[in-house]
Amino acid sequence: LAKTTQPISMDSYEGQEVNITCSHNNIATNDYITWYQQFPSQGPRFIIQGYKTKVTNEVASLFIPADRKSSTLSLPRVSLSDTAVYYCLVGATGFQKLVFGTGTRLLVSP
């Protein structure tokens, strides 16, 4: 079971770039890295998924170094609406391996 470690909380200001790093030292060869976002009183929402190097979509970028023991979610130019909890998950086949953890609480201020 690939355990992940994230900062409990982060603070930022509108317009800044935010980078949230997740450690997953015992990631397995077949594991993918997935990030979810959760707003208060809502279910989580998929943000991005990757296996290695860099993945970018319209919302975020995911940077994964060659050893894959960590990953960084990058949110460009955050706004107040990006205030949420961000979860890093690591897993592969056999869904029961996916564990959400407590996530990183991001607070964006004006």
Partner 1 sequence: NAGVTQTPKFQVLKTGQSMTLQCAQDMNHNSMYWYRQDPGMGLRLIYYSASEGTTDKGEVPNGYNVSRLNKREFSLRLESAAPSQTSVYFCASSEGLAPPNYEQYFGPGTRLTVT
| Residue ranges binding partner 1 (CB under 8 A) | 32, 34, 36, 41-46, 49, 51, 87, 91-96, 98-103
* Tokens encoding 54: 């860099």
Q: Which is nearer to partner 1, 8 or 66 (CB)?
A: 8
Shortest Å distance, C-beta 94 to partner 1: 7
Cβ within 8 Å of residue 105, ≥6 positions away? 8, 9, 10, 84, 85
Shortest Å distance, C-beta 38 to partner 1: 8
Shortest Å distance, C-beta 110 to partner 1: 25
Provide the sign of the torsion angle of the four alpha carbons 32, 25, 36, 99, taken in this order.
positive
